[in-house]
């Protein structure tokens, strides 16, 4: 427990920090020890609702919300039922849905990142549709910008061959991310390099899979280094079929780098049908020919790729976090 953050303000909204727990330091996070401290907000007419971002905190948040007599708003970020069969027993999927139902039925409103997740919630009878709201996509368009393109970073990402076409992928390396698909993609693209930015439990297996191929693994990047990595590639390829939204897709497009991504999960919310082919490309799950064909089209035509990157950037300028937060604020 690290004390209490100060209150902060955004236009027409006052935010009170309640408590801050570093849950990675230990498995048991004693949220209940903060209940007494919530008394300082109890008599404040400015406390309108509570919003825990992780299901882990809903128990403490629910207790405090009841104490303050305010609504509880939850958000959903990680689609655990989709991941379970990749890591453990498939029979655990339904018990997980039961847990999700219990947690989200305790809330007054649930925010989901994409229409696909909203549909999954309705299909699984988690909560009624009138208690679900779409939290519009948002990206830090100042931090992820084409101006961060860097020759030095491109040399690093291409292992000293910056003149060659460069595919990039940023994200967590997990089995559920379908990264094996990128191996089959690269087998069809001689003369093209790929850079993996990120880390995760699947990294060692992935590095072994790409051994002897024109691939670079940088490990984790943050801040300006990450901004440069995004902007210094030619095409971003996203094979994951389980994204609740696909934040890295937003960040790549904001960096002016076109995306070739699978048409699944929340990604079509970022690249809807009416702009596909102008801001980025989608391909059907498992359609290797379509994926490779669209990558080749982008890599073969610098002018077309540049135009698509600029159009993607323009679209993302309308999707910054202030705009996304304004939509939700209006709901409240």
Per-residue pLDDT tens over the stretch 152-209: 999 999 999 999 999 999 999 999 999 999 999 999 999 999 999 999 999 999 999 9
**pLDDT score for 63:** 81
Whether pTM > 0.75 for this model: the answer is: yes
What's the mean pLDDT when you consider all of the chain?
A: 85
14 within some domain? no
Contact present, 289 and 316 (Cβ < 8 Å): no
Contact predicate 246/267, CB 8 Å? yes
| Cα–Cα distance list, 133 to 26, 122, 272, 273 (Å) | 33, 12, 19, 21
Which of the four pLDDT bands, split at 50, 70 and 90, describes residue 220?
Answer: very high
321: in domain = no
- Residue 146: is it exposed, middle or buried by C-beta count within 10 angstroms (0-12/13-18/19+)? middle
Closest C-alpha to 107, from 122, 126, 82: 126
**Alpha helices, H only, the chain:** 39-42, 58-68, 80-87, 93-105, 115-123, 151-157, 180-187, 203-209, 223-231, 247-254, 267-270, 288-300, 302-316, 321-331
- Whether the CB-CB separation of 35 and 64 falls below 8 Å is answered with yes
Residue 27: pLDDT over 60 = no
- For the chain, what percent of residues have pLDDT higher than 90? 59
The total of structural domains in the chain comes to: 1
pLDDT of residue 292: 99
Does residue 83 form part of some domain? no
Mean pLDDT over residues 82-102, rounded? 89
Rounded CA-CA distance 288/225 in Å is 31
In this predicted structure, what is the pLDDT of residue 61? 80
26 lies in some domain: no
End-to-end CA distance of the chain: 29
pLDDT tens-digit readout, 238-288: 999 989 889 999 999 999 999 999 999 999 999 999 999 999 999 999 999
Mean pLDDT of the 291-303 span = 98
- CATH number, domain containing residue 285: 3.40.50.2000
Whole-number percent of the chain with pLDDT over 70:
83
- In this predicted structure, what is the pLDDT of residue 91? 93
Residue 53 lies in a domain: no
Domain extent, residue 252, equals 146-316
Residue 282 lies in a domain: yes
95 domain-assigned = no
Residue-wise burial string across 295-312, b where 16 or more C-beta atoms lie within 10 A, e elsewhere: bebbbeeeeebeebbebb
Looking at per-residue confidence, does 35 or 271 come out higher? 271
- Band of the pLDDT at 56, cuts 50, 70, 90? low
Establish if 207 belongs to a structural domain: yes
Neighbours of 193 (CB within 10 A): 23
Q: Which of 211, 298, 199, 204 has the alpha carbon at shortest distance from 256? A: 298
Residues 201 and 173: beta-carbon distance below 8 Å = yes
């Amino acid at each position: 427990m690290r004390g209490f953050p100060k209150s902060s303000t955004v236009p027409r909204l006052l935010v009170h920090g309640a408590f801050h727990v570093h849950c990675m330091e230990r498995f048991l996070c004693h949220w209940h020890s903060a209940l007494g401290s919530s008394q300082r907000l109890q008599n404040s007419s400015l406390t309108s609702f509570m919003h825990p971002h992780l299901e882990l905190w809903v128990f403490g948040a629910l207790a405090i919300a009841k104490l303050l007599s305010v609504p509880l708003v939850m958000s959903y970020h990680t689609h655990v039922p989709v991941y379970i069969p990749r890591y453990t027993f498939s029979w655990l999927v339904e018990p997980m849905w039961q847990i999700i139902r219990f947690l989200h039925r305790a809330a007054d409103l649930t925010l989901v990142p994409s229409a696909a997740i909203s549909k999954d919630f309705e299909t699984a009878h988690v909560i009624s549709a009138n208690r679900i709201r779409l939290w519009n996509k948002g990206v830090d368009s100042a931090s992820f910008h084409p101006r961060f393109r860097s020759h030095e970073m491109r040399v690093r990402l291409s292992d000293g061959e910056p003149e060659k076409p460069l595919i990039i992928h940023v994200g967590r390396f997990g089995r559920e991310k379908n990264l094996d698909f990128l191996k089959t993609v690269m087998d069809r693209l001689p003369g093209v390099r790929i850079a993996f930015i990120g880390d995760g439990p699947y990294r060692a297996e992935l590095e072994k899979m790409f051994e002897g191929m024109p691939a670079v693994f940088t490990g984790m990047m943050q801040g300006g280094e990450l901004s440069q990595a995004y902007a210094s590639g030619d095409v971003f390829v996203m094979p994951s079929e389980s994204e609740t939204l696909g934040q890295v897709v937003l960040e790549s497009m904001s960096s002016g780098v076109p995306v070739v991504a699978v048409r699944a999960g929340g990604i079509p919310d970022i690249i809807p049908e009416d702009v596909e082919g102008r801001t980025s490309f989608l391909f059907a799950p498992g359609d290797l020919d379509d994926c490779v064909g669209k990558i080749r089209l982008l890599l073969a035509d610098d002018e077309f790729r540049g135009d698509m990157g600029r159009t993607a950037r323009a679209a993302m300028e309308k999707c910054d976090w202030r705009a996304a937060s304004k939509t939700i604020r209006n709901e409240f």
